[in-house]
Every structure is written in structure tokens, then in C-alpha cells.
Structure 1
Amino acid sequence: MLLHKHLTPELKSRLGRLTTGNGWTLRKAIQSGLDHEDSQVGVYAGDSESYALFSPLLHPIIQDHCGHDLSGHTSDFSLDGLPQDDLDPTGEFILSTRVRVGRNLARYAFPPAIGTRDRAALEAEVVQVLSGLRGHLAGDYHPLASLSEAERRELVHHHVLFQQSDRFLDSAGVNRDWPRNRGIFHSADLRFIVWVGEEDALRIISMQPGARLAQTFLRLQTALEQLDGQLDFARDSRLGFLTACPTNLGTAMRASVLIRLPRLSRRPDFRARCARLGLAVRGLHGEHSEAHEGIHDVSNVVRLGVTERDIYQRLRTGLRALMALESAERKRGHPGAASGEPPPPG
């Protein structure tokens, strides 16, 4: 865990006396790491000020995690000059595409530290802005507390409902007052979604079936251009967009696909191959879940020190490589391997 690696007794004593304007302390920041020894990082930020006040701890952790020297961060959503065709037009490999970013608002504490009144005020401010979206981004807001069982099942079916299930976030304080002042905004076609009150104040998501990565990116870009003009997002010239978990800083972007790799994923070096391509692998239902029938969630690893354009380009290149490797594995296997069938016994 990076927390144990970088939190020396001297640093703990020095930072333990500090408190941000929102009441965030070192003890609160590291509580999740203390509770869960299997945590990768073990520390959360309660507000924008956390990244300055606790920088002697947070900056080394961030540098260790992403390998970036924190010299500065720029944003670039432009896809000009990059290929934008469908990665998998036959649908043989890629089931769906999802690109999301985390955002917090500058004048509020982040979900681990936000108070009850501010949580309600933030929700009201965000919902008012979302209600003004038009065209293919227009939609409705559904407070979690008011969802009927039928509505809940429908959102679960479409993989767009967030729930109170993460033990790391629970220890960090994110799940306080659940489910009050939290909700989901989604467009009529469920291709644009905003989660309000999850790990970050906002998780802004563009998603769709198939492998049209460019289309998914550009929809998100359009939404962010509209929202950025009306909501004051928390950001920093060195760290980019500020998030509750330091691993999401920078672009705060996770671009992912559900991809079918039944043969390649059986290889013992599968995850190492993905890592060499700059890709992270999760199970079918996201972090801490298992794959099902060879279907994995594959996404970018690096968020800080790269632009959104870089993420698009690297993900596209990595996915092409994985599809080629899977095809090679299938050719070496039996004729039914292309469909994901297991090899015959013996």
C-alpha cells in the first residue's frame, strides 16, 4: 500500500496537527487505508485544500502511482487527425464502450467530507444545470431515495445504477447519509449519464453498445463543454481535475470497453500483456469483480500527465493489439474457439 510506504512517523506527527477549512484531517484521509490492508493507495482527499495541506504525503504517493513529475497538466479533447472508425464493426470482440470523468465543484467539500446541508445544496445546483441540457443530452434526474423497485431494476439492467457497496469508500466517509441527495441523470437513450454524489460529486459518463470509441468520446466532450461553462469544477494547474481518490487526478478519465477475450485471457501472462499496453483489466461488473465467459472490462491506466486525446489514442492502439492477439490464440485453438467455446476435454 502506498500509504504505508510514504507515511513516515515524522510526517504523521507533522501533518496530524493540520485541518482543512472543511474539517478534513490526516486521520480522516488515511482511515480507509487503515481499515483495509488490501487498499492500493489508502488515502482520500476531502476537498481541494487537501492537496496543498497534505502535499508532503499526497504528492509522493501520486508520483509513485502514475510516474508523473507533477510539472503540470493540460487538457486536450481534440481527435483531429486521429482515426475515428469503428474498431470492431462486426461486434466479434467489443460489446460496449464507456468513457467517464470525475468532477468535483470548487466551492464544496468532496463526498468524503461534505456536510449534509452542502450535499443538498450541491445536488440542487447540479440538477438545475442538468435540466437545461438540450438535444441528445436532455434527460431526467432520478433521486436514489425515490426510486421504485421497478426503476431500480431497470437501471441495474442497463448497468447505470451506483450503489452503497464499496467498503473502501465506506471507510473514507463517502457513504454517509445514504441515499439522501444522491441520484442519476440520464438521457432518453441512456447514452449520457451523470451520477451525483458517488465517489466524486459528479461522474459524467458517455456510453453505448459496440466499439465506436470516437463517438463516445465526442459526446462526452460536448457535454463537458456545456457543463464547464455553468459549474465551477475543482482543478489545479499541476494536478488537473481534483478528485477524491488521488489515482483519478489529471484528466480524471476512465475510458473502457467490455471486450470478449476468452482465449487470450486464459494465458498466465494476460494481465502483464495488458499492462505493457498501458491497459488495466477488471471483471465484467467493474472493479473487484470477476470476468464472465471471457468478457473483461479493459481501460486506460494513466490519467495524469496525459491528455484526453492521448488516452483515446493509446486505448485504441491497445485494443487493436488485444484483438489481434485474441485472433492469433483462436487460430492456434480448435475451430469453435472463435465463439468463446471451451476446448474439448483431453
Structure 2
Amino acid sequence: MSMFEIHGGFTGLAASSRVRLARNIKGYPFRLTEQQHSEIADKIFAALKENPTIGPEFDKKQIIPRSTEASQLVEEHLISPELAQNGGWLIVSKDGGVSIMVGEEDHLRLQVIGTGLCPKECLETANRVASLIEAALPFAYDERLGYLTACPTNIGTGLRASIMLHLPMLTATEQMDRIIGYAGSRGCAVRGTYGEGSQAVGGFYQVSNQVTLGASAAELTDKLVETATTIIDAEKKAREQVRSQNEPALRDRIYRAAGTLRSAYLIDTNEAVQCISNVLIGLQMGFLSGMDAQKLYALEEHIRPAMLNGAPQDRDKKRAEILREATKPIQFN
């Protein structure tokens, strides 16, 4: 296991967790020049490199606006669409578990990603890395307001913690409006796969905290976990409800999805993600076996358009080849 690899128990329902801390450097204006972005990136990188334990784990790269690499990094959840569009800097651990964007809305945004339900562990790692940076570059902080950020919605803790949940049956049974309302009452938001404004293809949703003031980062993270756990329980009930109403139809949908992944010659992103979603259900409910659900979920992130070079049809062909090979071990129960 690499230094920053975090596992919280993959269930296929809580696929991954992420913690992001928004920070600004004391003494710098909120709106920076490109030269100041570069200067701050250099100082952050130097501060991390001074630590003999974690320093060797990090690399620094410039983000070229609207480049293919930038699009790939968005699909890997390592940078935001805004940074990909406008450019900036990325400091990232070799395993991708820790990444620091420089040049987005705030001077820096520190992110930690883990597998499964593990936002608490992600927060611990984020705080550890943030402390190393702050020792060299003091953060803008107000005793009353907390960490100062460009957007008022981030002020206070500067925390945005999120959990990627797989909720296909709550979607199919038209219960997501109720779930979104419940999350809102808990100070949380439910968004699509890539955050605000994105679609939830295959039933993959991000659940994140909305509140950043009035509680500690640890308290906000605890509340997020409680909210996500309740939503997970609702998804489990929805799955059993669908099974009890018409198991043959559910099994048929899952088998057809597995058959498509195992035999398609061309497959576009949306169809692939939808099929992966159905196969995940099959693996979790015992209709399918022979493949690790975590491996299948990880595969979903590597078949996005920017990850596959070439014309659209060439990408569809390559995507199908990857999926045919990966899903060979799947067995129908």
C-alpha cells in the first residue's frame, strides 16, 4: 500500500470518499497573477519536499488550459473543470490520493481521496498535509470567521467533504427527490458524478456538506457520514423492494448488462457506465460472481472519453475491448 492510500471498506454503495480544504495564503491578494500562482505552487512544493517522509511522494505539473491531459485529470477527479479550463498548477502524490490545485477560486485547494466510506481518514490526512504547508506559508485566518475564502459559502472550515454513492434503485423507484430533501435538512447536498451541475449517470451521486460555519471540520464530517449511512440503508431497502416485486426482470436487466460488457464491439460512455452500474448491482446482490466490485468501479473511471485517445468511434472500440477483457471472469449465478 502506498503512503496516502486510504481504504474505508468498499461496499459498492459508498464507492469513494473525498475531502477538500480551501485555503488562501496570508499576505497575498485573493486574485493572483499567473506569476503569483507559479510562486505559490513553488513554495508549496518546496515545503512538502522538505519533509523527508512524504516529500518524495509528490510531483508538480503545470495545467495547460483545455488540454487533453487537463481533461483526463478532471475525469480522474484530480482537478476541477475550472482549473482545466483556465490553467494553473497541480501538486499530486504519486498514487493520486493527495492533490493540491493552485490557481483555482482560492489560492490552493487540498484534496484527499480514499476508497469506500472513509471521509474521516481523508480529513486526518488532509489536516496533516495542510499543517506542513501552513508551517511555511501561513493561511489567511480570522478568529471569528475562521479560514478566509474567495466564496462566502466556503468560509469557516473551508471544508468540502463528499462521498460517492451508488444509488441506482433509489433513482429507478423515483425516490431521489425525497433523498435530496432529507440531505438538505441535514446540511448536505446531493449532486451528480462530477459535482454541481453534472449528471448522475448510472446512479452515481456525490453527497457533500453544504455548511462550513458553526461546527468543526470533524463534526461536519461526522454528520456527513451519518447522512450517507441513512441514504445507503434506503438504497438497500429499495433494492430488496425491486427484487421482491419482480426478480426475473431485475435479473434479466443485470444479465443483459453483463452480456453487453462481455461482447460489445463498440460502446459509448453512457451505455458503458449504465451497464457497469447494473453489473455492480448483480455482484452485490449475488446474481453475478467472479469479479471484484471495487475493480469494476475503478474501471468505470478509466473508460471516460478523455482517458481514451482518438476519434469517437475509435474510443468506443477501445472502451469495448477494455471492458470485454476485464469482465471475462464474470459468472451468471
TM-score range, shorter-chain basis?
A: 0.5 to 0.7
**1:159 maps to 2:77:** yes
Q: What residue number does 1:145 align with?
A: 64
Q: CA deviation at 1:270?
A: 2.4
Q: How many residues align?
A: 243
Which residue, out of 219, 230, 253, partners 1:310? 219
Which residue, out of 6, 10, 13, partners 1:93? 13
**C-alpha distance in 1, partners of 2:81/2:208?**
21
Which residue, out of 28, 32, 40, partners 1:108? 28
The TM-score, its normalising length taken from structure 2, stands at 0.65
Task: Encode CA deviations 1:105-155: one digit per residue, 9 max, x unaligned.
Answer: 111111xx3245434433333332233344356310001139984x44652
* Local SS of the residue matching 1:329: helix
**C-alpha distance in 2, partners of 1:146/1:329?**
43
Q: Is the 8 A contact 1:108 1:122 kept in 2?
A: no
Q: Is the 8 A contact 1:278 1:302 kept in 2?
A: yes
Q: CA deviation at 1:85?
A: 9.6
Q: Is the 8 A contact 1:200 1:243 kept in 2?
A: yes
* Local SS of the residue matching 1:270: helix
Q: What residue number does 1:203 align with?
A: 109
Q: CA deviation at 1:242?
A: 0.5
Q: Is the 8 A contact 1:99 1:205 kept in 2?
A: yes
Q: CA deviation at 1:299?
A: 0.7
Q: Is the 8 A contact 2:65 2:83 kept in 1?
A: no
Residue correspondence of structure 1 range 77-92 to structure 2 within 5 A: 86=8, 89-92=9-12
Letter in 2 for 1:142: K
Letter in 2 for 1:240: G
Residue correspondence of structure 1 range 183-332 to structure 2 within 5 A: 183-265=89-171, 266-267=174-175, 268-332=177-241
CA pair 290-145 structure 1, distance change in 2 beyond 3 A: closer
Task: Encode CA deviations 1:242-282: one digit per residue, 9 max, x unaligned.
Answer: 00000000000011011011222421322102112332111
**1:125 maps to 2:31:** no
Task: Encode CA deviations 1:71-93: one digit per residue, 9 max, x unaligned.
Answer: xxxxxxxxxxxxx994xx35230
Q: CA deviation at 1:161?
A: 2.9
**C-alpha distance in 2, partners of 1:187/1:165?**
18
CA pair 187-119 structure 1, distance change in 2 beyond 3 A: closer
CA pair 164-291 structure 1, distance change in 2 beyond 3 A: same
**C-alpha distance in 1, partners of 2:74/2:7?**
30
Stretches of structure 1 lacking an aligned partner (at least 5 in a row): 1-83, 167-174
Q: What residue number does 1:63 align with?
A: none
* Local SS of the residue matching 1:284: coil
* Local SS of the residue matching 2:113: strand
Q: Is the 8 A contact 2:99 2:111 kept in 1?
A: yes
Task: Encode CA deviations 1:6-52: one digit per residue, 9 max, x unaligned.
Answer: xxxxxxxxxxxxxxxxxxxxxxxxxxxxxxxxxxxxxxxxxxxxxxx
The TM-score, its normalising length taken from structure 1, stands at 0.63
* Local SS of the residue matching 2:64: helix
Which structure has greater helix proportion?
2
**Which segment is superposed worse, 277-286 or 100-109?**
277-286
Q: Is the 8 A contact 1:278 1:318 kept in 2?
A: no
Q: CA RMSD in A?
A: 3.0
* Local SS of the residue matching 1:333: helix
* Local SS of the residue matching 1:332: helix
* Local SS of the residue matching 2:127: helix
Q: CA deviation at 1:157?
A: 4.1
Stretches of structure 2 lacking an aligned partner (at least 5 in a row): 1-5, 255-276, 280-333
**C-alpha distance in 1, partners of 2:154/2:199?**
22
Q: Is the 8 A contact 2:111 2:126 kept in 1?
A: yes
